[in-house]
Amino acid sequence: MVQYTVRRVAQAIAVLWAAYTVTFVVLYALPSDPVSILLNQAGGTGRPSADQVAKIQAAYGFDDPIVVQYWHHLVDAFQLDFGQSVSRGQSVTSLLAENLPPTIALTAMALVLTTVIGGGLAFLATYVGWRPLRSFLHRLPAVGVSFPTFWVGLLLIQLFSFSLGWFPATGSSGVSSLVLPALTMSLPTSGILAQVLIRGLDDTLDQAHIATARAKGLSRFTIHTKHALKNASLPALTILGVLVGATVTNAVVAETVFSRLGIGRLAQQAVLAQDIPLVQGIVVLAAGVFVVVNLVVDLIYPLLDPRVLQHSSSRSLAPVEVAA
């Protein structure tokens, strides 16, 4: 278990480093630069002088060679210091702390809805006995996955805000403002979760121990909840960790469509301004959440299926055995 944990932690650190490095390279490969965008947004008359450009570049360290900038930013990032935002003139850490709570609330509600909708749909799709309804429920998750997130958000605004007036169309105040954006984020991810869980339940229900449980006279509900669901939830648990990353990505669209404060909308504005320190801070934060959630899933997995540790140990010992 210790070797398994160390290996997963090392992989998590490697993912964070890769996310930071790719973001750095992509932002510096763009044709424009944050200093020019900043000066254009300032609305000054005429073309900025070379002294103005050089002064701003020196203030943010953009006059150093790219390799030196990368090393300095990487060392600071390990200390959770992402520097100053170019477009906002504030500490990146303070901006993240200010915009993180609304996104946490939205993402948590979206994940709860994803689990409830996806899990409930998978349970019904494999539990009902009427074949036409069963076939319809099996195909329904693919419909939810196919809809673009922004289109779902606009449709929900039109129906529940403008037509029915049940929920606000924009804003970040109150629990009611979370409902529509959380539902927008959860529909595509719940479809993915339902597809994986349906396949897992179908495969589990065809196994021999389920036939034995039926022969003992157990009810279909008991078989579904106590015997089939545990084994079928293993691949669903894995995909749920991946869906956390998709939910964070969907937050960019949802917070923009619903004009909410949060990390997603901040990321959209930072990318448009090519605010390198702010974008890198957001990417590291999102990657960190994704990595931590998947690390927790990886550590829970052996508790549900001890064969994972055996498989991991056999792979690590394989070269030794061949050498012997």
pLDDT one-digit tens code per residue, 102-111: 888 888 888 8
DSSP assignment of 50-115 equals HHHHHHHHHHHTTTS-HHHHHHHHHHHHHTT---B-TTT-SBHHHHHHHHHHHHHHHHHHHHHHHH
pLDDT for the residue numbered 224: 78
Kindly state the tokens that stand for 144: 């939810």
- pLDDT of 320 above 80: no
In terms of phi and psi (left: phi > 0; alpha: psi -120 to 50; beta: otherwise), the region of 81 is beta
> By percentage, how much of the chain surpasses pLDDT 70?
82
47, exposed or middle or buried, with CB in 10 Å at 0-12, 13-18, 19+? exposed
pLDDT for the residue numbered 307: 59
Tell me how far apart the alpha carbons of residues 141 and 138 are, in angstroms, rounded to a whole number: 7
pLDDT for the residue numbered 50: 67
pLDDT one-digit tens code per residue, 232-266: 777 777 777 677 767 777 787 888 888 888 888 88
- pLDDT of 274 above 60: yes
More confident residue, 182 or 317: 182
- pLDDT of 34 above 70: no
Pair 259, 171: CB distance under 8 Å:
yes
Domains present along the chain, CATH in parentheses? 2-78 (no CATH), 92-305 (1.10.3720.10)
More confident residue, 37 or 191: 191
pLDDT one-digit tens code per residue, 204-219: 878 777 778 778 877 7
Mean of the pLDDT values across residues 172-176?
80
pLDDT for the residue numbered 48: 61
